[in-house]
Amino acid sequence: MAQLWNLLLQGMVNSLLFLYDVLAHNFVLSIAVFTVLVRLITLPLTLPAQRSAKVQQELQPEIEKLRKKYAKDKEKQSQEMMKLYREKGINPAMGCLPMLLQLPIMFAFYQAIIKALANTPLQMISLGKSASPGLSHLVPLGSRFLWLDLGYPDPTFVLPILVVVTTWIQQKMATPPSTDPQAASMTQSMNITMPLMFGFITMSLASGLAVYFVVSNLIGVVIQYFITGWGGLLPQKDEKKVKKGK
């Protein structure tokens, strides 16, 4: 397991070095392009989860009928819901897949950024050993971008705020509306807690990681728009009211 992790980390470091070399030695652009590549590579795994969420959204009226019909028999209610999910070919647990994929990538990416932005003699020697022969001449890398030192936290908190906002937008778009008060309350809590958690994380870690989060979220927003539109971000029209208005 440790060897696999080291291979992943070394691959990320060398990918960042290569992009840094071909993108005019601009490390923030290297992070952005690498983020796009990672999202494209993981798209075949995350796309089914997003499509599953769309189907769940479309099934809300049927789910609500089952909740009312078996309100006094929770076990039967769960069985009927799982039967409905199987008939439609969806797995409710798939909604966690994007996050489960993002966590190890996030940890490896953070370590890769710190390793690539070596700023002590020992760190530079370690980076030189990890780098491919044709890339070792790039050490040390330039870490400055506008007011940022990408190896350190953003002192102005602009990036953490952008992380919170973009994470919230992406989650709202991906979250299907629920007619169950308990589920809706839990979803609303998660939609607030998760963005704040990621924002808090990026307040104390390298700002290069915050760049990764912002770019990744923006790509996620674009992908989600083509799957579900604005989803839960915009208020849903009540079809009954619309018909009465007509």
How many angstroms separate the CA atoms of 188 and 50, rounded?
Answer: 18
Whose tokens are 């897949």? That residue is 97
Does residue 229 lie within any of the structural domains?
yes
- pLDDT score of 162 more than 90: yes
Q: Strand 144-145 vs strand 148-149: parallel, antiparallel, or unpaired?
A: antiparallel
How many angstroms separate the CA atoms of 246 and 243, rounded?
Answer: 5
Predicted structure pTM score: 0.73
Per-residue pLDDT tens over the stretch 47-66 = 766 676 677 777 777 877 87
Does residue 198 lie within any of the structural domains?
yes
**What is the residue range of 230's domain?**
2-234
pLDDT at position 238 is 46
Whole-number average pLDDT of the chain: 79
Does residue 83 lie within any of the structural domains?
yes
Does residue 246 lie within any of the structural domains?
no
The identity of residue 233, as a single letter, is L
State percent of the chain over pLDDT 90: 13
Residue 20 · residue 26 · CB < 8 Å: yes
pLDDT at position 85 is 76
Does residue 166 lie within any of the structural domains?
yes
Domain count, the chain: 1
